[in-house]
Amino acid sequence: MTFTHSSSFVTDVMCFLGISGIILMIVENEISFAQMYNRETITTWVLKLIITVTTIILVILVFVYHRLYLALYALRYHSNDWHIGLTWQRAFLIIIEVIICAIHPVVPAFPTRSSIPIDYSNLLMIGHHSETYTPAEVALSLLSK
């Protein structure tokens, strides 16, 4: 298999992983919002785990793609060293691409059933300030707006 075929295969797999990750995130959000009081279920945990695994594979493939691109660059200019194609600007763009591809929902701890009964009747009390927490994915989604 040549470098061009390898790089086109890598880009096809990257596209598939990116689109499947987006679809899985949409499905996970819909499942989470459909369950008002228990958002962390085994189903959402498994979906977030699958999204994390596909994201890790996607980030690895970004490096593989750019390594193949630099090898093609070296072949095109009849050089044995692929390092001449790696400029500071290209390295910066690769790092930005990896950071963008690494964005995904955080996998929380495995959900377990609690034996402590929860009283949902006091949730809408005005003036009642209890200790609450914001899930990490909610905090991260607020940054994009």
CA distance 44 to 24: 10
H/E element holding 62?
A: helix 42-76
3 state DSSP class of 115: coil
pLDDT tens, 99-129? Answer: 998 887 777 666 555 555 555 555 555 544 4
pLDDT tens, 10-51? Answer: 999 999 999 999 999 999 888 888 876 666 778 888 898 899
Token look-up 């085994």 returns: 42
Q: Measured over all CA atoms, what is the biggest interatomic distance in the chain, rounded to whole angstroms? A: 73
Q: What is the pTM of this model?
A: 0.70
Q: Give the gyration radius of the chain's Cα atoms.
A: 22
